[in-house]
Amino acid sequence: MAAPSQPQQATYDAIVIGAGIQGSFAAYHLARRHRDTLLLEQFLLPHSRGSSHGQSRITRSAYPKAPYARMMPDSFQLWQRLEEEAGTSLYRQTGLVVLGPAGDPELESCRHSLGDTQLLDAVTLAQRFPGLRLHPGEVALWDGTAGVLFADRALRAVQDVFRRHGGTLRDGEKVLSIQPGAVLTVTTTAGMYRAPRLIITAGAWTGALVAPLGLHLPLQVCHHHGSPTDPEERDWAPPGAPRPDVTLLSTFISSYLPGLEPRPAVVETCLYTNTPDEDFILDRHPKFSNIIIGAGFSGHGFKLAPVVGKLLCELSLGEEPSHSTAPFAISRFLTAVL
């Protein structure tokens, strides 16, 4: 899908920058609503530089924060719709056991989102999952809706269906500048494009894209809760470098699943772009209302991508969002300077 060498110039109904799972779903929703949409990606697809690659992602209904718990039923339905449109399986339902100290506030919030009937005592847990060790003072919750999303397959599926609805996907084009206006101009390494609405879902590169637009977002790039990293250099770790995240996971496996081999067979890194409160940013630019920003998914955005894409689409069309975006407003960060 590499872009042709000749300069491109075209006008669209909408432009989306960043063809990860969030941007791809935003473009998909726009195309389904018959908007002529351009989806731009700076790297050649497929790639592993962002946050949407790999074999799998978890999905679940159990959430300690109510806004996400309310969004998950819609997300499950939209994943199923994509499966039907793409004619392929994107999700394997396995169920999920959530462990934690009895009375822990986050665990209690998850319990509330699932209902008390999902609480498993130590005896029931041992009967259903004999390989799982519950420690003293801990309780377990059962989320029967949970399972595994096939990440790479899902990303390909949403992009394929987007193109089937008439969308244009151009990879290998890095955005060089964004010129605001009633009709925006996006200049890339291969062309110049115009549209009355723009959605930015560029992951770890979002901060650099919106800074020239007078917006400074408190986004930190890291390997989940690991060390902050430069997205341009995330693959440059020296051989033999310590992997504290792997050690942490191996320790957990040894403690709670003693019958399993604790060392991973495959290690693959994934960039997470975190906000200070680990909640998403889904909002209009404070000055340029036809620029919509989706960022800071903080390691838990993949499962919600169908809903996030729908919300970004609705915001870009000037519609009332189908879910409240108040928890995801840019205004909660005082570092935004216009």
User: pLDDT per residue over 94-137, tens digit each?
Assistant: 999 999 999 999 999 999 888 767 888 888 898 999 999 989 99
**8 A C-beta contact, residue 15 and residue 38:** yes
Q: State the sign of the Cα–Cα–Cα–Cα dihedral 7, 10, 15, 20.
A: negative
Closest CA to 206 of 34, 27, 42: 42
Per-residue pLDDT of 187-201, as tens digits, reads 999 999 999 999 999
134 backbone dihedrals φ, ψ, rounded to 5°: -95, 130
Q: Residue 233 above 70 pLDDT?
A: no
**Residue 95 backbone zone (phi > 0: left; psi -120 to 50: alpha; other: beta):** left
Q: What angle do CA 174, 313, 279 make, to 5 degrees?
A: 80
Query: Which DSSP string corresponds to 91-128?
Result: EEE--EEEEEETT-HHHHHHHHHH-GGGEE-HHHHHHH
Query: Which DSSP string corresponds to 126-187?
Result: HHH-TTPPPPTTEEEEEETT-EEE-HHHHHHHHHHHHHHTT-EEEBS--EEEEE-SSSEEEE
Q: Which residues on neighbouring strands pair with residue 272, listed in sequence order?
A: 222
**8 A C-beta contact, residue 139 and residue 120:** yes
Per-residue pLDDT of 32-51, as tens digits, reads 999 999 999 998 887 766 67
- Work out the pLDDT band at 228, boundaries 50, 70, 90: low
What single DSSP character describes residue 4?
P
Q: Residue 324 above 80 pLDDT?
A: yes
